[in-house]
């Protein structure tokens, strides 16, 4: 994106939602959308409404509007983009009515100027160098410091109103706290009933391997495939390899009711399942359970991407490599789990459901349902459930799904660093965090799902786990950080009535690192800590303009960063 100066052109996001209580005439040309004859810049962001409850929508949409959005479309971190909205809106009339010129200033710096018929100007200074900062002298229009890989917005082409590398945005590190009322959970349990599938009984039959999402039609993540094979010569087949090519994402296998194990795709694509199995003389029943973990929702032909066993094969490999292909056998299929049909996750399951409460619950056993009652944590802070110790499955609270979980799958232990540098072209490995941990462990439980008295958590554990450490917690602000260039405003704010209780780090100079791991650079103002303490301790919010004078720093005492200093602050609420 930074490879060409043309990237500073204003991108008009797809306008998918522009609500009004009256009719509006909407047209466009090469420069702008035109609404009722007025040229507009539309900033659009999205609400992923399935990820939130209906009760949460008004607050989310209001926050989007407060953050500077004009329309709702795709997800944007509004708090971080709000200053860029305001800066560009200053030049809306010029940008949508003016002409554009680009001037190469050398050293990867470009000046882009928009000018309208009246001579009014609006400018962008871009530094496409990924490692070197730039000082630019625009003569009568002023001198500017442009950090590497950044863009400065100039109102009137002579006043800096925003720079993408100098974003003054508070970083809040949230912490989870256990509530005194959230006692250790007492579990009831029951096994997923599989008698019908172990006997090969299904509602659909075909001499082919059917496509999973066409059969399940979103009714379940699970599809059973069942077939039988007759064995006459056990010397070849008594110890065989079951080989299955599947389009993903997880596969469990049973042979003659005996569990052979599971395998899953590392990246959500096709893979080959291989397990040793024991076959007997006569009829053998092979039962396969295919599970999806979400479906592709973007890319060319995403709707045609197959899932389940369709397009794959099922083979038995016997002694000396003798192969029996079962792909065109008569296959019987069944959609979903019996526990889903009986609505074990519901507060009022169907008749005939019984839970074991008088014996210890099984640990590490696949296809197990668990249930526990709990009291809602007090207060108004967001509620999460910690699913540490579980394998893979699905969770419900009071009959409401809170999502699939997979905490047993952890990320690579390599690739994380205490430092983070976003400069240069984007690669997905930049600024990795959470190495060696599950991608998700805590799951949000909307308070609208909770009752004032008894609540019920139900888990379906697909791979086998231990619910012993599952607990409910609330989320609150632990530490907050800011990283502010001189001349900008430091703004810190605790949430939920909390106040700033401790200044854990304050450094005006050239601090290094990021929130949670700040460290001093090569120089600093000796009064950094005391200045911030005086301004912020005991307050819910605090702020001041960051200047050399505020920290008693003279120009001669600054030995780095070409005279440009930053303030890094980390405080506890």
Report pLDDT digits (tens) over 60-90: 888 888 888 888 874 444 444 456 878 999 9
pLDDT at position 43 is 85
Distance, CA of 369 to CA of 362 (rounded, Å) = 10
pLDDT-based confidence at 13, cuts 50/70/90?
Answer: very low
pLDDT of residue 562: 55
Instruction: Please state the rounded mean pLDDT for residues 384-405.
Output: 96
Residue 66, by phi and psi: left (phi above 0), alpha (psi -120 to 50) or beta?
alpha
Q: What is the pLDDT of residues 279-302, one digit of tens each?
A: 999 999 999 999 998 887 778 888
Per-residue confidence (pLDDT) for residue 296, from 0 to 100: 78
pLDDT at residue 83, rounded to an integer? 64
**3 state SS of 131:** coil
* Least confident segment among 78-87, 379-388, 489-498, 556-565: 556-565
pLDDT at residue 433, rounded to an integer = 86
Residue 507 scores a pLDDT above 90: yes
Q: Is the pLDDT of residue 452 over 80?
A: yes
Q: What's the full length of the chain, in residues?
A: 573
Nearest CA-CA partner of 461 in 385, 407, 399, 398: 407
What is residue 7's predicted lDDT score, i.e. its pLDDT? Answer: 30
Tell me the whole-structure pTM to 2 decimals: 0.80
Counting DSSP H helices and E strands in the chain, the numbers are: 8, 35
**For the chain, what percent of residues have pLDDT higher than 70?**
91
Q: Is 104 helix (H, G, I), strand (E, B) or coil?
A: strand
Cβ atoms of 350 and 229 closer than 8 Å: no
Closest residue by Cα to residue 31 from 44, 16, 41: 41
Max Cα distance, the chain (Å) = 95
Asked which of 372-386, 451-465, 484-498 is least confident by mean pLDDT, the reply is: 484-498
pLDDT over 60 (residue 5): no
Least Cα distance to 470 among 371, 382, 380 occurs for: 371
Q: What's the pLDDT at 168? A: 80
Please list the alpha-helical segments (H only) found in 232-323. Answer: 234-237
Mean pLDDT, the chain, integer: 88
* pLDDT at res. 266: 81
Examine the pLDDT at 128 and tell me if it is beyond 50: yes
Q: Nearest-CA neighbor of 186 among 393, 445, 361? A: 361
Higher-confidence residue of 31 and 243: namely: 243
């Amino acid at each position: 994106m930074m490879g060409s100066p043309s990237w500073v052109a204003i991108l008009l996001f797809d306008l998918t939602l522009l609500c009004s209580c009256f009719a509006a005439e909407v047209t466009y040309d090469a420069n702008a959308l035109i609404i009722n004859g007025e040229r507009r810049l539309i900033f659009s962001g999205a609400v992923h409404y399935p990820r939130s409850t209906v009760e949460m929508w008004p607050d989310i949409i209001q926050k989007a509007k407060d953050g500077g959005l004009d329309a709702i479309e795709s997800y944007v971190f509004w708090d971080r983009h709000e200053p860029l909205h305001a800066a560009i809106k200053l030049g809306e009339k010029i940008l949508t009515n003016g002409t554009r010129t680009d001037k190469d200033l050398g050293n990867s710096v470009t000046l882009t100027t928009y000018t309208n018929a009246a001579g009014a100007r609006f400018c962008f200074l871009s530094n496409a160098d990924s490692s070197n900062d730039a000082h630019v002298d625009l003569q009568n229009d002023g001198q500017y410091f442009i950090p590497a890989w950044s863009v400065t917005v100039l109102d009137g082409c002579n006043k800096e109103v925003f720079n993408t590398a100098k974003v003054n945005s508070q970083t809040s590190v949230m912490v989870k706290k256990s509530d005194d009322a959230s006692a250790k959970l007492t579990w009831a349990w029951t096994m997923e009933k599989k008698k019908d599938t172990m006997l090969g009984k299904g509602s659909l039959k075909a001499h082919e391997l059917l496509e999973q999402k066409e059969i399940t039609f979103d009714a379940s993540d699970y599809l059973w495939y069942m077939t039988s094979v007759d064995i006459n010569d056990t010397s070849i087949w008594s110890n065989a390899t079951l080989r299955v090519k599947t389009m993903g994402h997880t596969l469990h296998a049973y042979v003659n009711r005996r569990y052979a194990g599971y395998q899953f795709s590392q990246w959500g694509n096709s893979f080959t399942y291989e397990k040793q199995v024991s076959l007997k003389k006569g009829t053998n029943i092979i039962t396969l359970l295919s599970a999806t973990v979400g479906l592709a929702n973007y890319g060319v032909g995403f709707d045609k991407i197959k899932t389940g066993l369709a397009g794959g094969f099922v083979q038995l490999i016997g002694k000396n490599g003798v192969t029996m292909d079962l792909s065109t056998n008569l296959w019987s299929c069944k959609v979903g789990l019996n526990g889903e049909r009986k609505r074990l996750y519901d507060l009022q399951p169907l008749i005939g459901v019984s839970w074991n409460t008088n014996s210890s619950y099984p640990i590490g056993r696949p296809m197990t349902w668990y249930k526990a009652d709990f009291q809602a944590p007090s207060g108004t802070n967001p509620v999460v459930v910690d699913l540490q110790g579980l394998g893979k499955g699905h969770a419900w609270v009071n009959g409401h799904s809170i999502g699939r979980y997979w905490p047993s799958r952890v990320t690579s232990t390599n690739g994380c660093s205490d430092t983070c540098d976003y400069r240069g072209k984007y690669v997905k490995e930049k600024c990795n965090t959470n190495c060696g941990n599950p991608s998700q462990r805590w799951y949000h439980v909307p308070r609208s799902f909770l009752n004032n008295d008894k609540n019920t958590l139900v888990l379906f554990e697909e791979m086998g786990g231990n619910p012993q450490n599952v607990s409910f917690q609330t989320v609150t602000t632990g530490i907050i950080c800011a990283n502010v260039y001189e001349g900008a405003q430091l703004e810190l704010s605790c949430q939920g009535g909390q106040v700033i209780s401790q200044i854990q780090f304050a450094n005006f100079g050239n601090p290094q690192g990021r929130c949670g791991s700040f460290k001093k650079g090569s120089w600093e103002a000796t009064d950094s800590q005391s200045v911030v303490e005086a301004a912020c301790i005991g307050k819910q919010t605090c702020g001041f303009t960051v200047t050399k004078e505020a920290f008693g720093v003279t120009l001669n005492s600054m030995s780095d960063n070409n005279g440009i200093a930053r303030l890094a602050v980390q405080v506890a609420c």
